[in-house]
Amino acid sequence: MDNDSVINELNTVLRGELMAAESYDLFISNTDDEKIRQIFGQFRADHKEHAELLAERIRSLGAAPGKGTGIPGMFSQIKLEFETRRKDSEEILKRAYFGEDKGVKMTEEIVKGDLDPESAELVGRILSKDREHLIAMMEIMQENLKQENDVKIRANDRQRWENDSQGQNFLN
């Protein structure tokens, strides 16, 4: 792969990282769930760091890194704003997971192409951090599901107990 193509691919990953950081900005401002805000704040910081590393790599290959996310980025942010406004934290978490998953798949495609070793190593490192984001979100979603289930089980137990004690009243 020639230098220009590598720079092109790195710029694509860079745009994705900038978009991800902007998305987490939006998610954070659309939720008041402290736990989510905190973890998304970390994700946002990771994406900003990735963007800086990519820009640095592009510079060292002799090119100027792309700035911002352009018109497509603007449209996708507007769409995202509509999709997450006034949504509960569970919906926002799902939307964030979906976005991150899409980003990971896109980056996986790029890393399959033949980047130079140093660029490939960097993109690989970014990819494994993003996979950690996916795992962390999956864990929160599973924990939430478990808690919902526990509440249901307790409500069921209570109902059964009430039914039983009514039955006993009848017997007495």
Q: Which residue has the tokens 């017997």?
A: 171
Helix 89-112 vs helix 70-84: angle between axes, to the nearest 10 degrees?
A: 150
Position 50 contacts Fe ion (CB under 5 A): no
Q: How far is Cα 49 from Cα 107, in angstroms, rounded to an integer?
A: 16
Part in contact with Fe ion (CB under 5 A); list of ranges 23-31, 33-41, 93-101, 111-119: 93-101
Position 22 contacts Fe ion (CB under 5 A): no
Closest of 34, 21, 30, 26 to residue 129, by C-alpha: 21
Position 44 contacts Fe ion (CB under 5 A): no
Position 17 contacts Fe ion (CB under 5 A): no
Q: Which residue has the tokens 């976005």?
A: 99
Position 133 contacts Fe ion (CB under 5 A): yes
Q: Looking at beta carbons only, is 86 or 105 nearer to Fe ion? A: 105
Position 130 contacts Fe ion (CB under 5 A): yes
Site of interaction with Fe ion (CB under 5 A)? 100, 130, 133
